[in-house]
Amino acid sequence: MLQITNLHAGIDGKEILRGLDLRVNAGEVHAIMGLNGSGKSTLANVLAGRPRYTVTSGEVLFEGKNLLEMKAEERAREGVFLAMQYPVEIPGVNNIYFLKAALNSIRKHHGLEELDAMDFLQLAREKMKLVELDESFMNRSVNEGFSGGEKKRNEIFQMAVLDPKLAILDETDSGLDIDALRIVADGVNTLQSEKHSVIVITHYQRLLRYLVPDFVHVLHEGRIVKSGGKELAMTLEERGYGWIEEEVAAAQ
């Protein structure tokens, strides 16, 4: 589904990703862990097409198509979803109205008929239950006045409605209490299937108890330096990252 080869990218002229390789097949859950500054969020933003981030070399194929040539909205329509680390508040833009426009632009892209208000509301209600969002969220502005946990749940709610092929969760677990964490994980687990893949970017092993990864990767100085199964996350939780840095230093 996703094939990243020797990706070099950065922001404001500063190189952050330095030759990153990653392959995600359909149906897989990958966790990417690493210290602050290792390039986790840069990877997420580069994949989503955030302006200001520049790719200097390398290739990213999404279902065989060159993802880096697409605009952010085209990536979304192709099925890439980024649950943002810091969801932005957009006063005056209605949550549900915006999401309906988003879903319909994606459906249109795939040659599907646009959903009318009734059908959309039905879908939205169903998905809101999934993330235990109150119906009053429908009438509020996007993320405006939401608590940290509500913002993250709203991200997962949007993901559930838009039904992407590849969901990238950028530190969605940061700052969440255990209940919110469970809700987020349940939301992702419901979506995840043999056709859907997930990349979980996180600092903490905690989320991975509920959202079990097939692969865990350690990102260090812009490259993946170690990969393993779910047990690698446990090891990182117990031993920290120091031993990996030592391994990397020794290998050089």
Partner 1 sequence: MTTILDTTGALQKVVPPQNDAEPQRIATIRQQAAERFSATGLPTAWDEEWKYTSLAPLGRIDWRLSPGSVETADTQGASMRGRAAAELIFVDGHLLRSPSDISGLSGAAGVRLLSLSEALTSSEPAVERWFARLADYQRHPLTALNTALAADGAVLIVDDGEVVDGFVHLLFIGSGSDVMSHPRNLIVAGRNSQLSIVETYIGSGRYFTNSVTEIVASENAVVSHTKLVRESPDAFHIGTTQIHQERSSSVRSHQMSVGGGMVRNEVNVALMGEGASLVLEGLFVLTGREHVDNHTVIDHATPHCDSQELFKGILDQQSRGIFDGLIIVRKDAQKTNSRQVNRNLLLSENAIVDSKPTLEIHADDVKCNHGSTIGQLDEEAIFYLRARGIDEAEARSFLVDAFASEIIDRLPFEPLREWVRRGLFEQMPGRLPERREERP
Residues near partner 1, by CB under 8 A: 48-51, 71-73, 75-77, 81-82, 84, 87-88, 90-94, 96-103, 105-106, 109, 117, 121, 141-142, 158, 162
**Are 86 and 143 within 8 A, CB to CB?**
no
**For 175, phi and psi rounded to 5 degrees?**
80, 10
Residue 50 or 209: the one with the smaller Cβ distance to partner 1 is: 50
Measured from the CB of residue 34, what is the shortest distance to partner 1 in angstroms?
23
Residue 64 or 91: the one with the smaller Cβ distance to partner 1 is: 91
- Which of the 8 DSSP states describes residue 213? -
Separation between Cα atoms, residue 102 and residue 120, nearest integer Å = 11
Residue 14 or 110: the one with the smaller Cβ distance to partner 1 is: 110
Q: How far is CA 200 from CA 13, 43, 117, 129, 190, in A?
A: 27, 11, 32, 23, 15
Residue 70 or 248: the one with the smaller Cβ distance to partner 1 is: 70
- Which of the 8 DSSP states describes residue 112? P
Single-letter residue type at 194: E
Please state the length of the chain. Answer: 252
Measured from the CB of residue 107, what is the shortest distance to partner 1 in angstroms?
9
Measured from the CB of residue 117, what is the shortest distance to partner 1 in angstroms?
6
**Are 2 and 23 within 8 A, CB to CB?**
yes
Separation between Cα atoms, residue 92 and residue 75, nearest integer Å = 26
Helix (H) or strand (E) holding 99: helix 95-109
Measured from the CB of residue 126, what is the shortest distance to partner 1 in angstroms?
17
Residue 201 or 208: the one with the smaller Cβ distance to partner 1 is: 201
Residue 33 or 47: the one with the smaller Cβ distance to partner 1 is: 47
Measured from the CB of residue 222, what is the shortest distance to partner 1 in angstroms?
22
Helix (H) or strand (E) holding 7: strand 2-11
Measured from the CB of residue 38, what is the shortest distance to partner 1 in angstroms?
23
Sheet holding 53-62, edge to edge: 14-24, 2-11, 53-62, 65-66
Measured from the CB of residue 27, what is the shortest distance to partner 1 in angstroms?
23
Residue 76 or 233: the one with the smaller Cβ distance to partner 1 is: 76
Task: Residue 131: name the closest of 117, 146, 119 by CA.
Answer: 146
